[in-house]
Amino acid sequence: MSTNLLTLKDAENMTNKQALDLFCEHINPSLGKMMNMLGFTSKRPIMAEGTSIYFDDGSEVLDFTAQFGIMNVGHNHPRILKARDEWAKRKELEIWKFFPSPYQAALAKNIASIFPDDLDVVFFCNSGAEANEGALKMASKVAGPERDIIVHTDISFHGKTHATLSVSGSESKQNKHFKPLPGCVSVPFGDAEALEMIFLENKPKLRKTRVSTFIVEAIRAEGVHTSPDGYLEKVRELCDKYSVTLILDEVFTGFGRTGKMFAFNHSGITPDIVSFSKTFGGGKATFGGYVARTKLFKKAYGSMDDATLHSTTYNGYGEEIVSAIEVINILHDEDLIKNSERQGKYLLSQLEKLKEKHSIIKEVKGVGLLACIRFENSAAKMAKYVPGSTSNILVSKLTTGGIISQLFEQYNILTYTPPHDFDLLFLTPPLTITQTQIDTLIESLDSVLKINITKTSQKFVKRYLEK
């Protein structure tokens, strides 16, 4: 075994350049290059609190990403830190595999109480993909092996495990190397008639449709796609009529992101299973889960023989659980869902004003603090600035890449573009964001958009061409 092992101290003392080199060598060189192109490697984050990340050059950066929507309650919330600290000090049993954990029980009870009707039985796991995987599996178990079709929407992302990728329309358009599992059928998002057609096309005479499951996001997070009025209600009606399990993926939209506790709360329906993750661990734990209707759970896993048909080693360890209990209580005690709704409306109104001023903005959208700006697709115009490049993906990133790097390097604002739509600037700040901080973003964006876009992207291209 090598004696050159790095210690925690070594990691703490590493320079930014050393960290980037090791990241590129041992983790992901292309991702490392992208971070560099966006200017994110020019300084090192040393602390994060609330809506801000503090860097080693003394700068304070406003986080308008919430780290891909994880930090709804803000970075390092003091209540979560305290709960974890006290938990560790008590040296409680971390893993309750053989005893009923009162902490898990309390968390599950809280989840049951924030969901309507009989959405009362909870499964804990580590990630969004795992939550969806478990939900899909439960729906298949309920329907039986003959009903082997899962319907999903054309714009969707549910994770990157084999099953969840197979039902992720947005991802499979990009990921041509991947062969989806059989029986996964796509319908247009927001089109209830197309959904019923699929149910009927796969319905042998006098028997149930072969479709077991419909999985969908109530609001498609990337791009803030909302469905026509009454869509979810119609979907609920169809799923009831054809005995299809309705799974709503709230991994991104859950826990107040859209100005309601869950995005489906904008409608009046009760889904059969809801998956969640991201904010659930409070930004301190990798945590996810699903909640299912009691009758569905009983049908799938209710008997002693089936009790452990679905399980995982890592589900609901002590520090994850105490973090999640605090997250739900903080959202409630600090009235963060109301703030998401209020500040979301303000953000959208300011983005609309910005759109009037800048023709490069094609569209702005927002529901709560899930917002985005669509820029004019300037890929064709920009291609000539990337000599010898055959990479369409890179060229399509130039507009947003240039804007993101300018916002970060000149104005200390962190933003991002979603992985499946590079013409978008995605804005998903912590739900603790204030009006003044939104004003800072708008003023900065206004300044960046005044500069000619080819100039904004120059640095981005230059870094791409560097070895």
Where on the chain is the footprint of ligand PLP (CB under 6 A)? 127-129, 132, 157-159, 217, 221, 249, 251-252, 277
Residue closer to ligand PLP, measured from CB, 83 or 251: 251
Least distance CB 404 / ligand PLP (angstroms): 18
- Do the beta carbons of residue 427 and residue 63 sit within 8 Å? no
Residue closer to ligand PLP, measured from CB, 221 or 269: 221
Least distance CB 159 / ligand PLP (angstroms): 4
Least distance CB 61 / ligand PLP (angstroms): 22
Tell me the torsion sign for CA atoms 291, 295, 297, 298. Answer: positive
How many CA atoms lie less than 13 Å away from 67 in the CB half-sphere? Answer: 19
Q: Which segments within 169-238 are labelled E, that is strand?
A: 184-187, 211-216
Residue 349 makes CB contacts below 8 A (sequence gap 6+) with none
Look at residues 444, 382, 391 and name the one whose alpha carbon lies nearest to residue 415: 444
CB nearest ligand PLP: which residue? 128
Least distance CB 128 / ligand PLP (angstroms): 2
Residue 324 makes CB contacts below 8 A (sequence gap 6+) with 107, 280, 281, 282, 285, 287
Least distance CB 271 / ligand PLP (angstroms): 14
Beta bridge partners of 361: 375
Least distance CB 280 / ligand PLP (angstroms): 10
Residue closer to ligand PLP, measured from CB, 217 or 319: 217
Residue 313 makes CB contacts below 8 A (sequence gap 6+) with none
Give the number of residues written for the chain: 467
Least distance CB 158 / ligand PLP (angstroms): 5
Query: How far is the C-alpha of 17 from the C-alpha of 303, rounded, in Å?
Result: 56
Residue closer to ligand PLP, measured from CB, 217 or 272: 217
Residue closer to ligand PLP, measured from CB, 23 or 68: 68
The order of strands in the sheet holding 370-375 is: 361-367, 370-375, 424-427
Collapse the DSSP code of 374 into the 3-class scheme (helix H, G, I; strand E, B; otherwise coil) and give the result. strand
Residue closer to ligand PLP, measured from CB, 29 or 419: 419
Total Cβ atoms within 10 A of residue 15: 10
Residue closer to ligand PLP, measured from CB, 217 or 423: 217
Least distance CB 307 / ligand PLP (angstroms): 25
Residue closer to ligand PLP, measured from CB, 239 or 247: 247
